[in-house]
Amino acid sequence: MYEGIVQELIDELARLPGVGPKSAQRIAFHIVQTRNFDVTRLAGVLMEVRERIRFCEICGNISEREQCVVCRDPRRDPTIICVVEEPKDVAAIERTREFQGRYHVLGGAISPIEGIGPDDLNIRSLLHRLESGDISEIIVATDPNLEGDATASYLSRLLRSVGVSVSRLASGLPVGGDLEYADEVTLGRAFAGRQAMGDRRSIPTRPAVGGWASAPPPEEPTPPPPDDAPADPA
């Protein structure tokens, strides 16, 4: 539509996830038309990100050091690991301030259509972390869609013989959605109401954001009256 370098800029911006052609065009014209826009600084930050950002040697989260800020924090509970698909999911969960354990980033989800299998994910390092025997619970926080469900089921079967409790976030999350788009309250409630995988038992937790806890147990059914009880008047 546009000639030369302007169209090249629009095309490059449109390659970013979540940026469509119209959004790319708006960003491109903002850069072109705003005289005080610091293009040099933006370019410099982009270059620094590529040069300085690495993946945490323990959990796979993004970091500027060998270990990410969560793995370096001695206040985090090392006995609970939350397994997520991408680093952006770590950021989404951290915003809830509900989870105080540590993370493990798979780097994706099982997707036969895209040719992604278990060997393509960061699963071996998760098993290596479990060898210490210090971990008591794995919380599977994959996206509530087909790929996330397949990944969660695979992990549940794989970890069943390891001797750790495996749970998944409660269904307060929208089916078919992405974890990063859930608001803090929804994510907090999902943590509080997570269920052990393989049965329907809720994992007991402290009250979550807004005082919401896991669903209360169903009421006991009323027993039928004895045979010799007087009938109700018509």
In a domain, 226, yes or no: no
Kindly indicate the confidence band of residue 179, based on its pLDDT and cuts at 50, 70 and 90: confident
Tell whether the model's pLDDT for residue 185 goes beyond 80: no
As a whole number of angstroms, the distance between CA 159 and CA 111 comes to 20
In a domain, 99, yes or no: yes
Tell whether the model's pLDDT for residue 219 goes beyond 80: no
Tell whether the model's pLDDT for residue 210 goes beyond 50: no
Could you tell me if 31 and 112 lie in one domain?
A: no
pTM for the complete prediction? 0.69
As a whole number of angstroms, the distance between CA 92 and CA 181 comes to 8
Could you tell me if 79 and 48 lie in one domain?
A: no
In a domain, 66, yes or no: no
CATH number at residue 133: 3.40.1360.10
As a whole number of angstroms, the distance between CA 90 and CA 24 comes to 27
Cβ proximity of 42 and 64 under 8 Å: no
Could you tell me if 82 and 179 lie in one domain?
A: yes
In a domain, 81, yes or no: yes
In a domain, 34, yes or no: yes
Tell whether the model's pLDDT for residue 215 goes beyond 80: no
Q: Pick the more confident residue, 176 or 194.
A: 194
CATH number at residue 39: 1.10.8.420
In a domain, 58, yes or no: no
Task: Render pLDDT for 136-151 as a digit per residue (tens, 0 to 9).
Answer: 999 999 998 889 999 9
The last residue of a domain, from among 52, 67, 92: 52
Could you tell me if 86 and 42 lie in one domain?
A: no
SS3 at position 27: helix
Could you tell me if 165 and 200 lie in one domain?
A: yes
Boundaries of domain holding 12:
4-52
Cβ proximity of 103 and 160 under 8 Å: no
Cβ proximity of 31 and 39 under 8 Å: yes
